Chains A and B, each alone.
Chain A
C-alpha cells in the first residue's frame, strides 16, 4: 500500500515556509491538533488574527511571558471563541471604515476544540454564524475534553472510552453518536463549510485558503488526532487520521454555497476495525458492538453521498449573501 496516496509528492515545497505557530509550544508528542494549527496558519498567512477558546492549544501556546504565536492572538474563555472573534471582526471593520487602521484585508479566525465548539461553545458559534461575520471558525476536534483529562464530549464517537464514559462492566464506553456539527453549520446557510484532517495537509490548507476568501462566515471542522486521549502511538497520528477518512468514520467534504462535494474520494470504505483496533479507547469493544458502529458508519456515509449527488448550489438559486452588501 502506498501510504501517501492522494498526496501530491513534492507539493510541501510550495507551502509558506514561515512558521506562525512556532517551536517551543508545549503540546504532547505527536499532537495532531498542534500540527493542524501549524498547517492552518501557513494557509492563512500573516494577515490573520486568531481568537482562541480555552483548551489544549491555548494552554500549550501562551505561557506568560512567552507566546508560540507569530500572529496577533487573543484568548478570553472556553466557550466564547466565536464571540470574541466576531467582536474582533466588528472592531476592525469599524476602525478600517473610519480610517484609523490600514485598509487591508485581515481575516479573523476563531479556533477552539470540540468541547469549546460542539458543547459549551455552540451558542456563541451559532450566534456568530447567524450574524454573518467575515470570520472563519475552525473546530479542532480531538473527540474529547483532552485539556482537562480526556472527558467525554458530544464529539466523542460511539463506544469510545473516556474518563467520564469509561468502559465499565455494564456500560461499554460512550453510548451516544457523535454530534454532526458541520451539518448544523450547513443549516445556518454559511457560504462555506468543510471537514478536514491534518493527515491530508494540502486538502486542509486548500480548504482554509478557500474559507479565507469567503466574504462572510465559514466553518472548518478538523479532525485532530490525540495520541494521549485516543491511547494510540504518537508516530501513528497521521496514519490514524488517514484511516478515519478511509473507513468513512470521518469523510472529508466541503459544502460550498450549499453544494456538497467529497474532496478525498475513497473508492471502497475500509472496515472500521482497521481504525478502531489501533486505539486503546476502543479496545474494549466486542465484535457485535463494532458491527453496530460499522452499520451506522455506512448509513451516515450513504446519507452524505445522497447529498453529494443530489443538491443544487445556492449560486444556481441566485442566492446572495447579505441584503445590502
Chain B
C-alpha cells in the first residue's frame, strides 16, 4: 500500500504534530535532486571509507566485498566523495 504523503483530515493529525516513526524521512527520495552521480572504479579503491564518512546524506555504504556505493535514491550529487577520494576511485558522471 502506498504511504500517504500528508494526513488527509485534521482528525488524522497526531497531537502536537509529533512524529512517532523515527527516520521516516527516508520516504522522501532526495535522489531526484542530483545532476550528477558518483561512479566508483573499484580497481582504484583502497576501501579507506573516506567517501562513507564525508557523505552529508549518509547514503554511501559498503558492500560485502568491501567496496563502496551510493544509494542513488538519496544521493544529491554534491561531489564531495569524488573530490575527497584521494586514490581517485570516484568519478562524477552527468545524469541523463
Contacts and interface: CB of A to CB of B under 8 A. Distances in A.
A21 B58 contact: yes
B54 A35 contact: yes
Given A3-B86, A12-B52, A238 B80 contact: yes
A12 B46 CA distance: 13
A26 B28 contact: yes
A65 B19 contact: yes
B93 interface: no
Contact of A22 (B25, B52, B77): B25
Interface in A4-20: 4, 7, 9-10, 12-13, 15, 19
Q: Which bucket holds chain A's interface residue count?
A: 35 or more
Interface in B47-96: 47-50, 52-59, 71, 73-74, 76-80, 82-84, 86, 92
A234 interface: yes
A70 B27 CA distance: 14
B76 A22 contact: no
Q: Which bucket holds chain B's interface residue count?
A: 35 or more
B30 A234 contact: no
Interface stretch (A56-64, A99-107, A206-214): A56-64
A65 B84 contact: no
B6 interface: yes
A69 B25 CA distance: 8
Interface in B10-46: 14, 17, 19, 21-30, 33-34
Contact of B19 (A28, A64, A235): A64
A4 B28 contact: no
A234 B79 contact: yes
A97 B76 CA distance: 46
B48 A9 contact: yes
Interface in A44-67: 61-67
Nearest to B66: A13
A29 interface: yes
Contacts of B22: 67, 69-71
B27 to A, nearest CB: 6
B83 to A, nearest CB: 4
Task: Name B's interface SS.
Answer: loop
A191 interface: no
Contact of B79 (A26, A30, A64, A198): A30
A201 interface: yes
B29 to A, nearest CB: 7
Contacts of A237: 56, 78, 80
B25 A25 contact: yes
B59 A23 contact: yes
A135 B74 CA distance: 32
A229 B13 CA distance: 35
A26 B31 CA distance: 11
A38 interface: yes
A27 interface: yes
Contact of B58 (A19, A71, A198, A236): A19
Nearest to B47: A10
Nearest to A62: B19
Contacts of B74: 23-24
A68 interface: yes
A238 B28 contact: no
Contact of A238 (B54, B76, B92): B54
B47 to A, nearest CB: 8
B25 A3 contact: no
B59 to A, nearest CB: 5
- A-B residue pairs, 10 tightest by C-beta: A235-B79, A12-B49, A30-B78, A24-B25, A23-B74, A68-B25, A235-B83, A29-B78, A35-B56, A22-B23
Interface of A: 2-4, 7, 9-10, 12-13, 15, 19, 21-32, 34-35, 38-39, 61-71, 198, 201, 227, 233-239
Given A12-B53, A31-B56, A65-B17, 5 more contacts: A22-B58, A24-B23, A35-B56, A69-B23, A70-B22
